[in-house]
Amino acid sequence: MSDIIRVEHLSYIYNPGMPDATAALNDISFAIEEGDFVGVIGSTGSGKSTLISHFNGLNRPTSGKIYVAGRDMWAEGENLRDFRFLVGLVFQYPEYQLFEETCAKDIAFGPKNMGLSEAEIARRVAEAAAFTGLDAALLERSPFELSGGQKRRVAIAGVMAMEPRILVLDEPAAGLDPEGRDTILSQIQAYHKKTGITVVLVSHSMEDIAKYANRVLVMDRAQIAMYDTVEKVFARAPELLALGLSVPQVTKIFLRLRELGLDIPTDVYTTPYAIKTVLKYWQAHHGPAPTTEGGSPHAE
């Protein structure tokens, strides 16, 4: 697989040359492979949002290079708009960017800017609406009549309709109830699986990242603290906790069990895997595993 985004020694400084100059990104290098689902996590102010706004040229690096699909974004003669169509960026609270009379027109705003034909635009709008679970009836209504969760899905569909090669989402589930959260995130996952498009998901929730991503990029104070597969990152749970990040609840339980002296692995981050691990431990120490009927087995 080839790298879809490659970042080399990227630094970004706010207010350079002023007394209050601060480095938002400090000498960052990494690459994202085509088709990956990358979760980006880090505490507030660690540079996550600044990093992703570099992916389509909304911020110009103070130093360093960014390659998207092999092209140097800031090279002489490159058109930034090409990169905006290659990298679809969904901001935090994207519903505040809606402006058209109908949802369909709003979703069509991006494709229209790409100069596509009417028929192609209509196809993309219908497809993006299907991916985000918007009814055809909703598409003809004003976006301002919809509920918060529906508005959010219209905004995400607006970026999906541009059919970017990388979809970057900054906290797409922020401020939604648990149900709306799961709906949106699983729609994004289904979209990723069906189209094979690279997805970068910024999130505060370790549970969400554990559930959907296959690689995790951990940011800390303008630098990359870790960038690895989900298993390997969560195996370093104590370090994550030291960075002020949380780990999934199951991982916390396993860490505590290990502290109590049980010989179990700590790279457990999903509930199904946790059950399997517990059963394996039981078999090794107490003979055949008890049946799970009538509730989960008690460890002690």
Partner 1 sequence: MLSDITIGQHFPGDSVVHRCDPRLKIIVTIAYIVVLFMAANPLGIALSLGLLALLYGVAKIPYRLILKSLKPILPVILFTSILNLFFITGEGTPLFHWWIFTIYPAGVRYAVLMSVRVVALIAGTSLLTYTTSPIVLTDAIESLLRPFAKLHLPVHELAMMMTIALRFIPTLIDETQKIMNAQKARGAKLDNGKFTERIQALIPILIPLFISAFRRADELAMAMECRCYHGGEGRTRLKNLKFTKTDLLCGVVAALLLGCVLATRLLVPGL
* Residue 283 sits in the site that holds partner 1 (CB under 8 A): no
* Residue 206 sits in the site that holds partner 1 (CB under 8 A): no
- Check: CB of residue 269 under 8 Å from CB of residue 208: no
Cβ distance to partner 1 smaller for residue 123 or 258: 123
Q: Give the contact letters, 118-157, x = binds to partner 1 (CB under 8 A), - = no.
A: --------------------------x-------------
- Which residues in 24-53 contact partner 1 (CB under 8 A)? 53
- Both tokens of 286, joined, read 């107490």
Instruction: Write down the H helix ranges in the chain.
Output: 48-54, 80-86, 103-107, 109-113, 118-131, 136-139, 148-160, 178-195, 206-212, 230-234, 237-242, 249-259, 271-286
- Both tokens of 129, joined, read 């609406």
Strand order of the sheet with strand 198-202? 87-90, 166-170, 198-202, 37-42, 215-220, 223-229
Instruction: Give how many residues touch partner 1 by CB under 8 A.
Output: 22
Instruction: Write down the H helix ranges in 12-63.
Output: 48-54
- Least distance in angstroms from the C-beta of 295 to partner 1: 46
The region of 61-69, 78-86, 215-223, 239-247 touching partner 1 under the rule CB under 8 A is 78-86
How far is it, in rounded angstroms, from Cα 30 to Cα 189? 23
Q: Give the contact letters, 79-118, x = binds to partner 1 (CB under 8 A), - = no.
A: --x--xx--xx-x--x-xxxx---------xx--xx----
How far is it, in rounded angstroms, from Cα 97 to Cα 226? 33
- Check: CB of residue 214 under 8 Å from CB of residue 196: no
Of 4, 7, 10, 56, the one binding partner 1 (CB under 8 A) is 56
* Residue 271 sits in the site that holds partner 1 (CB under 8 A): no
- Least distance in angstroms from the C-beta of 75 to partner 1: 19
- Least distance in angstroms from the C-beta of 300 to partner 1: 51
- Measure CA of the first residue to CA of the last residue in the chain; give whole Å: 47
Cβ distance to partner 1 smaller for residue 116 or 278: 116
Element (H, E) at 88: strand 87-90
Give the binding site for partner 1 (CB under 8 A).
Answer: 53, 56, 58, 81, 84-85, 88-89, 91, 94, 96-99, 109-110, 113-114, 144, 158-159, 162
